[in-house]
Structure 1
Amino acid sequence: MLASVDSTNAEGFRQAPHLAGPAWIMAAEQTAGRGRRARPWVSPRGNFYATFVMQSHEAPAQIALRSFVAALALHDALCQVTGSTRGLALKWPNDVLLGGGKVAGILLECQAAGQGLQTLAIGIGVNLIAHPPAELVEPGATLPVSVLSESGQRVSPEAFLAKLAPAFAAREAQFSAGGFAPIRAEWLSHAARLGEPIRARTGTQDRHGTFSTIDGSGNLILHMSDGPVSIPAAEVFF
């Protein structure tokens, strides 16, 4: 556990050349935590900030599927610490919901390490005891919650990592052995708003339709009035 760091993903990339194998890097505090699209991630002490660092010769498209692996591992760990699956759901592309609010997020980043090798950093933030105030959230976005506020369970970052690390190892083994198909099927079984109307924002374009499924590449399939559309990256609003 690092006392303080700018971001665990940044620290992961700094440490990667010196690591003997995959590793978790956790910090009590981030001074420049980041979410998707370089948004700041509010990082008070008591919440969970960690990055899983690994190296891979896989193609970028295959590496990117580990955001779904991480989401399932988070779901598994949160089930254990809350004692229930009630209220837990996975929001495409990389959030975990508890009681309808955002309790955790995933940031997957890659850097070339030479000779076809990629360093992968899977950053995970979990609101264990605190969450940002609603006024800091973009209008229409999912409001944040914490494990404590929704379940009444007070969990330390160290205790959460003790659940998450083996859960991730098990899901990684499942992915390595069986590919994306079983990960996709199980992710869909926990998907938020599957079969319901959603809005997907890509850049400045908003698309409205029914969340139909995700395909074999992890793309969102949105069924619109003129047929299905495959969306590789977007912000999703309910």
Structure 2
Amino acid sequence: MDQKTRILIVEDDMIIAANISLQLSNLGYEVTGLVTRGEEAILHAKANKPDIILLDINLKGDLDGITAASKIQETHNIPIIYLTANSDEPTFARAKATHPYAFISKPFSNLDLQRTIALVAQQIMNTNNDTIGDEQQHIQVMDDRIFVRHNGKMMKLLLDDISYIEADRNYSNLITSNGSYLISTTLKVLENELKNHKFIRVHRSYMVNISKLDVVGEHHLEIKRKVIPLSKTFKEHLLKHLHTI
């Protein structure tokens, strides 16, 4: 593997979690973390953006695995593989509604885990390749608005309503005051499409609407108290644009 697939393990039995982690590491995957609660999974997914989440359905705490998956999917498109010893129909129906890539039933063998992870990793690779080749079909930029494909339909977003854009691998998250919109278009493509508007690349993972800036610091920016990193590579370019508005 040239670039290791990054996997978050969410399992409240640390013996099982450690065994899974060891096996995945031996297979060449990168384990981004071992967490035991749904709340921790949400924070870890946001901070580290793993490629796959291996998620136990029955977690201790206020959030079970299914609820945690739903909250993660509100902002990040990360494939889920459920681990479960519970096969009752209501639980399966709830889990199915989050569109997981696979289920692994407990107890499972090392071979079950190995094959399932390999199949999901291949699906992700195929999906990413298709996305890159088809990404121009998902956006249409006009003078003051952008049309994005969202939940199966084209939706209008006024450019002035977009505060910043955050990269999420081959996806981009458009942040507005009314919510966020995850689209299957890379930040590089959006940068080219929006170069004649008020959007400036400030970091390898961020573009900002310069009319929305509240604070410009030495190494960071702020928009409505959201702290956005400012890379040295892009800083001079940003300052030139600020001086012209």
* Rg comparison, structure with higher value: 2
Give the helix-richer structure, 1 or 2: 2
**Relative contact order (alpha carbons < 8 A, sep ≥ 6): 1 or 2 greater?**
1
Q: Does the TM-score normalized on the shorter chain lie above 0.5?
A: no
Q: TM-score when scaled to structure 1? A: 0.29
- The two structures have a TM-score, normalised by structure 2, of 0.29
